[in-house]
Structure 1
Amino acid sequence: MNTPLPSTAPLGRGTPNVDRAAFRAVRRKAALRALLLAVPLLVFLLATFVGPIASLLSRSVQNPEVRHGMPQLTAALASWNGAGVPDEPVFAALAHDLKDAAESGDLGNIARRMNFSQPEFRSLLFKTARAARSQTPAQWKPALVDLDARWNDPQTWRLLQRASLSPTPDYLLNAVDATIAPDGSIAPVPADSAVYRAAFLRTVAIGATVTVLCLLFGYPVAYLLATLPDKQSSRLMLFVIVPFWTSLLVRTTAWYVLLQPGGVINSLLMSVGLVSHPVPLIFNRTGVLIGMTHILLPYMILAIYSVMKNVSPSYMRAAQSLGAHPAVAFVRVYIPQTLPGVGAGCFLVFVLALGYYITPALLGGAGDEMISQLIASQTNEQLNWGLAGALSLYLVAFTAVFYFIFNRLVGIDRLRFG
């Protein structure tokens, strides 16, 4: 007796329910198997990429030092209306918490946090903590006011009250050179203390300039690689890919040697008589632009080349056969077809330029400090993770806004590689 073979007809209305159910079960098993294979990678990305970034960004609104290290003072200041100097219970809570914080080792973190709000607050807290550990007066308010007149200043207590609030907008405001005024309104910081808004504008300006330079230099190179025969194009492509095999620090250091006053470039210019004295090419904006353009240029070339390679030359021939001048055909027929690659290259270069650190640090001067350098300074030197998180949050938000705007203009999400 012959066993009937399973039907190979397409699944449709005439397919038995059993076959459709079996087909769906097989598809579910395949999807589950693919998901299980991807789980280790997802866990790795969450642990090493998403998690640290989310942790840093969350610090932009966290304010745990005073709240956790001085719980009694936090509770006492919660009911204070901010007018005048607090009463004796608040002073007593301050003395008790400072004594406990000094014994537990939390005083250093509290003092560092308060120093962000007002310089020399650290010395005030340590001096008061020593007094709190060495004496027990009947009334803490007159004792602390006699110890330091700043305890009789309402602004000192307002700063402590703001530092005890969590979440807080303070870091987000500081990152755009703003602060909370005594009356509760948002006010700009003094002009001599404003740093971050100018740094954001400088970062955008440098990133945009590098993007334009990479586009001007990269588009002709990509066109040459896309129109040459495959054998010659592959050989020239090595010159574009080889820089990826060289360390970023090595390439930046090489420009440091080439651009300095006694370097190769200035020596060559002076030897041929083009200049009589060294041209300032380093520790200024010129050095930053040269170094960043050299490093980011391959990204622009590869992004544009991937699109140009798929543009058929028949379009140009058709336009010229209809009477169009080659230059007109290039501008009106060829360039529009390469805009997705241009958009992808500009977006990639611009985003990478926004976060550059090593090149501006080595080749730039005092007026070329970018946001990435300020973030590094806040984390490594100032240990102000809250402000570093706020600066990072603004940088991420700006990058996202730029992506949506640029995608709206040129449609980089429709780019196809290959």
Structure 2
Amino acid sequence: MTDIAANSGPSSPTEITTADGTPLKVSLRRSERRARWRAFLLVAPLLAFLVVTFGFPIVAMMSRSVYNPEVANYLPNTAEAIQEWDGEGIPDEAVFTAMAEDMRVGSENRTIGRAAGRINREIPGARSQVMGTARDLDEMQPPYREAFLAADEGWANPTFWRLIKRETRIITPAYYLLALDFEYSPDGEIVERPETYQIYRLLFIRTAWMSLAITGLCILLGYPVAYMLATLPLRTSNLLMILVLLPFWTSLLVRTSAWIVLLQQQGVINELLVWAGFIDTGDRIRMIYNQTGTIIAMVHILLPFMILPLYSVMKTIPPSYMRAARSLGANQFTAFTKVYMPLTIPGLAAGVLLVFILAIGYYITPALVGGETGIFISNLIASNMQGTSAQLKLASALATILLLLVLVIYWLFNKLVGVDRLKFG
């Protein structure tokens, strides 16, 4: 009786199994695992597409901004030998011998001129020094240190060799420093660029404040429109919604070109102001090829991205809330600001995020109507993408900084508002 009680007591319950005898817990785990694999396989094509079209390009861009193999490839022996030099005085014979060998190979491959040109950008006259010595190399005999010093006094300049050592580093932050208006001196110190050449920080600041201004104007113009669409009768609001969506049916280039016609000094708006007598013919207002033109054109283009999220939220707010607030003694203004507006925050936040992030990376509209004072950092990135290898690396550094800036803004926005509260429609 004791054995029977022990086997049938609560300490050893009967295990539940499936029809084939598999324990239920094991069967459930297998089922959940199969469900997860099916879900993964369903999203795998999209995930692969994002990795190939989004992940790899970003990683390639970021690596290009710090990867600097050109000079090291042109002067491989020098790059290896000069790493042992402490940066004081003139390098020893091993470095000069390595430079002579690289010159000999580079003259045959026509690559020594590219390396010399790269160095010449920071030390004027360096190209003539390198190319002149390369031409006379066949007449020189070891030791090359004395031969080089006798051929050109520039080889005795420690600054030249420090620049060689710096430029032969495969990984360098030099382009990020340049993107922030700093640079390496030939001696290897980080210095601020001359004020006349400080353009990148200015463009980053201009891009940020103009994007904020565009976002603010979109709020001022879009909020009343969205409120009207949400409160008007359905038939009327649907008709007006077509007008809001109409710009999406027109090419961006056409819309921007239309603003050029409207805003130029001989354009429609100036002609109407002259005809109405508000301005004289010689006092036409310049509203294009400057910051004003960029802001006006971009507000028109991005305004629907503010209206649509706001409308989607406002449409779900019951009108009875406002009536209840009025019945409790609140006037129209108080009821609107204390009851209605807080309920629209998810749509407003979504619109702000959409408009600001789209504006900060815009390219076409500032390029067409911005002139010299209305372009964004994206325009400078595009122009550098079409240049030399060094300009391409600078463009990659600028684009990476812009990407990080957007991610920081998104993180702050998430902390302040909460991305999970957003409603995009």
- TM-score, with length taken from structure 2: 0.87
Whichever residue aligns with residue 293 of structure 1, its letter is V
CA contact (8 A) 1:343 1:411 kept: no
2:379 counterpart of 1:379: no
User: What does residue 221 of structure 2 align with?
Assistant: 217
- Equivalent residue for 1:257, pick from 261, 271, 282: 261
In the alignment, structure 1 residue 44 sits paired with structure 2 residue 44: no
CA deviations 1:137-166 (Å, max 9, x no partner) are 434334444555433322121111111123
1:281 aligns with 2:302: no
Q: Which one of the candidate residues 169, 177, 183 is aligned to 1:179?
A: 183
Alignment length (residue pairs): 405
Gaps of 5+ in 2: 1-12, 19-23
Q: Deviation per CA, 1:346-392: give whole Å up to 9, x if none.
A: 11111111111111111112233321112112211244222212111
Does the alignment pair 1:153 with 2:157? Answer: yes
Once the two structures are superposed, the pairs formed by residues 64-79 of structure 1 within 5 Å of their partners are: 64-79=69-84
Matched, 1:80 2:88: no
Tell me whether 285-294 or 30-39 shows the greater mean CA deviation.
30-39
Matching residue of 2:33: 28
Deviation (angstroms), 1:72: 0.7
1:302 pairs with 2:308: yes
Is 1:345 the counterpart of 2:316? The answer is no
**What's the counterpart of residue 7 of structure 1?**
none
**Match of residue 315, structure 1, among 308, 315, 321:** 321
Amino acid at match of 2:284: P
User: Under a length normalisation based on structure 1, what TM-score does the superposition of the two structures give?
Assistant: 0.88
**C-alpha distance in structure 2 between counterparts of 1:397 and 1:283, whole Å:** 29
Question: 1 CA distance for matches of 2:111 and 2:49?
Answer: 33
Which whole-Å deviations, capped at 9, do the CAs of 1:91-139 have from their partners, x for residues lacking one?
A: 221232233234445556645654665566556555554444x544434
Aligned to 1:355: 361
C-alpha contact 1:64 1:164 (8 A) present in aligned 2: yes
Task: Report if the CA contact (8 A) 2:174-2:183 is conserved.
Answer: yes
Q: Distance in 1 between matches of 2:139 and 2:46?
A: 58
Contact preservation (8 Å) 1:340, 1:411: no
CA RMSD of aligned residues (A): 2.6
Higher relative contact order, structure no. (Cα contacts within 8 Å, ≥ 6 residues apart): 1
- Of residues 306-315 and 288-297 in structure 1, the stretch that sits farther from structure 2 once superposed is 306-315
Q: 1:337 to 1:82 in 2, by over 3 A?
A: same
Question: Offset of 1:257 from its aligned partner?
Answer: 2.1
> Unpaired segments of 5 or more residues in structure 1?
1-12
Residues 52-81 of structure 1: per-residue CA shift (max 9 Å, x gap)? 121111222212112233221111110111
Whether 1:410 and 2:417 are equivalent positions in the alignment is yes
Q: What is the distance in 2 between the residues matched to 1:201 and 1:162?
A: 30
CA distance in 2: counterparts of 1:119 and 1:322, whole angstroms: 80
Q: CA deviation at 1:42?
A: 1.8
1:330 to 2:330 alignment: no
Whole-angstrom CA distance in 2 between matches of 1:347 and 1:216: 15
- For 1:363, give the aligned amino acid: V
> What is the identity, as a one-letter code, of the residue corresponding to 2:411?
F
Match of 1:10?
A: none
Match of 2:398 in 1: 391
Amino acid at match of 1:275: I
Q: Measured at CA, do residues 110 and 284 of structure 1 come closer, stay the same or move farther in structure 2, by a change above 3 Å?
A: same
* Preserved contact between residue 346 and residue 421 of structure 2 (Cα < 8 Å): yes
Structure 2 distance, partners of 1:115, 1:214, is 49
Q: Is the Cα contact below 8 Å between 2:122 and 2:186 reproduced in 1?
A: no
Of residues 20-29 and 44-53 in structure 1, the stretch that sits farther from structure 2 once superposed is: 20-29
